[in-house]
Amino acid sequence: MKKRILGKDLEVSAIGLGCMGMSFGYGPAGEKSEMIKVIRAAVEQGVTFFDTAEVYGPYTNEELVGEALAPFKGEAVIATKFGFNFVDGKMAGVNSRPENIRKVAEESMKRLKIEVIDLFYQHRVDPNVPIEEVAGTVKDLIQEGKVKHFGLSEAGATTIRKAHAIQPITALQSEYSLWTRQHENEIIPTIEELGIGFVPFSPLGKGFLAGKIDENTTFAEGDIRNILPRYTQEARVSNKALLGVIERFAQEKEATNAQIAIAWVLAQKPWIVPIPGTTKLHRLTENNAAVNVTFTASELAELTAASEEVKVMGTRYTDAMEKSTGL
């Protein structure tokens, strides 16, 4: 597995593993022993970057990741996140007050079985707490030796600049893929200017870009895709046009759709580290092999242009989700 640098000096595998779906967001949680096998197989395949959050479960995903990676202390970089309230075990709005950030840090370390958090993201911007105060709190945690690196998730350019001025940001995590490109306008130029790494989640469009989902696919109860505009039956039919573009390049490269989609993300900048998620060993192996798929400049331009000609039907989230928390 190749390596990449986030921010100034956080070295991680070029492809990480998003662990959310093992416990949360895509229907029933995976069987614990099987999920541990997948995480440990990722380590064996050279993955050193693992993504979780207190909200995934809540709490159960951090516990899973902590148990799975316990034998690999010092070998794995674990990213987790703060920024929500919970009522009766369910997410109940954002909360990035300093006292909550500190509380989450302590509790996350216990669940993850670690003494310091490698990368601590604000999961979603809290409009009620100045970002300077959030950054200052994480700066204090870094000085206290409880956190190594600061990150933001789904933050805007102005927020990024304000936070970075207080405590340098190592990575921004946001959605980015062949069909989610809005960050190219302002966000990516901003973080490039500031020397911040980019960690795209859902580089496979929550699975659609891998080409295994069609209009007849049904999702389990509790799977977020049941309510996403891009996953209505009509949208899935229309969005097959993008799959056609990806499939053409997959055939030319003797690769899979998933590998082409991930390789496209990797090819955008050398400081981008996508974190595709999976619960299956064979998909893990397939996704990680994307690191060996390369494009010439003309091939990359052709793929990008062809994908841009396809009008994607449906927004990535509902309006309510975009206004509140997203995932």
Catalytic annotation, residues: 56
Residues facing 26 on adjacent strands: 223
Do 254 and 180 meet the contact criterion of CB atoms below 8 Å apart? no
Can you list the positions of beta strands (E) in 76-116? 77-82, 84-87, 90-94
Q: Which residues contact 124 (CB under 8 A, 6 or more apart)?
A: 83, 84, 94, 153, 154, 325, 326
Using DSSP, state whether 165 is helix, strand or coil.
helix
Residue that has been written with the tokens 């703060």 in this structure: 82
Give the integer Cα–Cα distance in Å for 77 and 309.
Answer: 38
Token readout for 309 is 């000609």
Do 199 and 172 meet the contact criterion of CB atoms below 8 Å apart? yes
Give the integer Cα–Cα distance in Å for 122 and 139.
Answer: 13
Give the integer Cα–Cα distance in Å for 226 and 164.
Answer: 37
Give the integer Cα–Cα distance in Å for 274 and 261.
Answer: 11
Q: What letter would DSSP give residue 327?
A: -
Token readout for 325 is 């928390």
Token readout for 136 is 């200052």
Give the integer Cα–Cα distance in Å for 53 and 275.
Answer: 14
Please classify residue 67 by burial: count the beta carbons closer than 10 Å to its beta carbon, then call 0-12 exposed, 13-18 middle and 19+ buried.
Answer: middle
Q: Which residues contact 177 (CB under 8 A, 6 or more apart)?
A: 200, 202, 203, 204, 205, 209, 261, 265
